[in-house]
Structure 1
Amino acid sequence: MRIMSLNAWGGTLHVPLLQYLASEAPEVLCLQEVIHSPETDKADLTYRDGEHVLPQRANLFSEVAGALPEHVAIFCLAAQGMLWDGETPVPSRWGLATFVHPSLPIIGQAQGFVHKGYEPDGFGDHPRSRSAHAVRVFDHVRGRAVSIVQMHGLRDLRGKMDTPERAVQARRFLALLQQVAEPGDLRIACGDFNVEPESATLRLMTEDGLTELVTTRGFEGTRSVHYAKPGKFADYMLVSDAAAVRGFSVVRDPEVSDHCPLLLEL
């Protein structure tokens, strides 16, 4: 079984992104920063937040679902706000997506918020609402259940330091995993956590019995060359049983986002 976690960067590099996902086709794909704009057939829109302006793929969720046509596609929104077609506002939904191949039947799932709650009338002030999604699947090849939870951690304009909000976020994230997982499950937590390796968030998860794979396996960051700011860590993958890991990589080629895909093989 292969599990991938990736911040899709709103589909900024959608051509190589879709090609890569179709080629790799991991059994479970945990995708963050996904746009879903069902009210428009426009391919591209623009996100505006002061001086922060980014191209966005209007219906990235549907496009990834098309690249993985056999997978069950689940969209978990955090907020609905406006993206822009020139000067025309377009209602657009922003959140997470999980894609699961039918060879792994979903036998449990839970969706919830790790920071704030659903914002129906705009993306809101920073730090904005953040959702998380957990699925419990059954691996018939190995005869075991695997519980996987992902989140896109809150973005604090001051940086990636420990804050009370991030502490609450981490506890809610683990609680969602615990809600889905049953005794004996292999547990996996992943996503763009927006924290540093020495953060209290990762310490809390380690204390819960999870082993973090990015730093313990010597990777020097998870951001691609498209990310020019300081601080090269954001994304993490943790497992409850390191002996179950057949392989793990931070994928740097091809470049499909300003984040690198994390690819776990069990």
Structure 2
Amino acid sequence: MEIMCLNGWGGKLHEALLPYLAGTAPDILCLQEVIHSPASQKDWLTYRDGDHVLPQRANLFRDVSAALPEHLAIFCPAAQGVLWDDDTSIPSQWGLATFVHRSFPIIGQVQGFVHKNYSPVGYGDHPRSRSAHGVRVWDYNANRAVSITHMHGLRDLNGKMDTPERERQARKLLEMSHNLAESDDLTVICGDFNVEPDSETLSILSSAGLNELVTGRGFDSTRNTQYKKPGRFADYMLIDQIDAVRDFDVIQDPEVSDHCPLVLEV
């Protein structure tokens, strides 16, 4: 089984992202920063937050679903705000999505919020609502259940330092994973956590028996040349049974986002 975790950056590198996902077609894709704008047929809209202006693929969820036709697609919104078509505001949902190849039966799911709750009118003040989603699937090749839970960790405008909100977020994520998994499952937790490797978030998850693979396997960044700010880590993948890892990689090339895909083979 191949599991990929990626922050899709709102589809900004759409022309590279979709062929990459179609070509690799991981069995499980955990994708953060996904846009869903059912009221618009435009390919591109614009996100505006003060000086922060970013092109957004208006229906990234639809686009990735089309690129992975053999996968079941599940979208989990965190908020509905507006994107812009010139001077016209377009209602647009923002969140994360999970794509599961149809050969893997989904035998359990969990969805919820690790920070705040659903924001139905506007994206809200920073730090904004953050959701998480998990699937429990049956792997016939290995004759076992695998539970995978991912989140997009909150963005704090002051940086990636430890905060009480991030501590609560980590404990909620761990609780969601525990509620999903059974005792004999292979358990994976991943996502764009928006924290540094020495964070309390990773300490909480490691104390629960999860092995962090990015720094544990010697990778020195989960960012690429698209990311211009200091700090080279944001994304992590953890597993409870280290012996189950057949391969793990942080993909620097091709660049399909300002985050690197994390790819785990178990």
**TM-score computed with the length of structure 2 as normaliser:** 1.00
* Deviation digits for residues 191-248 of structure 1 (CA, Å, limit 9, x no counterpart): 0000000000000000000000000110001011000000000000000011000000
Alignment of structure 1 residues 144-163 onto 2, 5 Å: 144-163=144-163
Dislocated runs of 4+, deviation >6 Å: none
* Deviation digits for residues 76-97 of structure 1 (CA, Å, limit 9, x no counterpart): 0000000000010000000000
Aligned to 1:177: 177
Aligned equivalents of 1:168, 1:142: Cα separation in 2: 34
Aligned equivalents of 1:30, 1:240: Cα separation in 2: 18
Aligned to 2:135: 135
Aligned to 1:116: 116
Q: Which secondary structure state, in structure 1, belongs to the residue aligned with residue 214 of structure 2?
A: helix
Aligned to 1:104: 104
Shift in Å, 1:102: 1.0
Residue type of the partner of 1:206?
A: S
Q: Which secondary structure state, in structure 2, belongs to the residue aligned with residue 215 of structure 1?
A: coil
Q: Which secondary structure state, in structure 1, belongs to the residue aligned with residue 65 of structure 2?
A: helix
Shift in Å, 1:134: 0.6
Residue type of the partner of 2:65?
A: A
Does 1:212 pair with 2:216? no
Aligned to 1:14: 14
Residue type of the partner of 1:115?
A: H
Aligned to 1:37: 37
Does 1:5 pair with 2:5? yes
Aligned to 1:243: 243
Q: Which secondary structure state, in structure 2, belongs to the residue aligned with residue 216 of structure 1?
A: coil
**TM-score computed with the length of structure 1 as normaliser:** 1.00
Aligned equivalents of 1:166, 1:186: Cα separation in 2: 25
Aligned equivalents of 2:15, 2:238: Cα separation in 1: 29
Aligned equivalents of 2:242, 2:55: Cα separation in 1: 38
CA RMSD of aligned residues (A): 0.3
Residue type of the partner of 1:80?
A: Q
State the number of aligned residues.
266
* Deviation digits for residues 150-182 of structure 1 (CA, Å, limit 9, x no counterpart): 000000000000000000000000011011100
Residue type of the partner of 2:98?
A: T
Aligned equivalents of 2:198, 2:259: Cα separation in 1: 19
Percent of aligned positions that are identical: 67
Aligned equivalents of 1:110, 1:214: Cα separation in 2: 25
Q: Which secondary structure state, in structure 2, belongs to the residue aligned with residue 183 of structure 1?
A: coil
* Deviation digits for residues 104-133 of structure 1 (CA, Å, limit 9, x no counterpart): 100000100000000000000000000000
Q: Which secondary structure state, in structure 2, belongs to the residue aligned with residue 249 of structure 1?
A: strand
Aligned equivalents of 1:210, 1:103: Cα separation in 2: 27
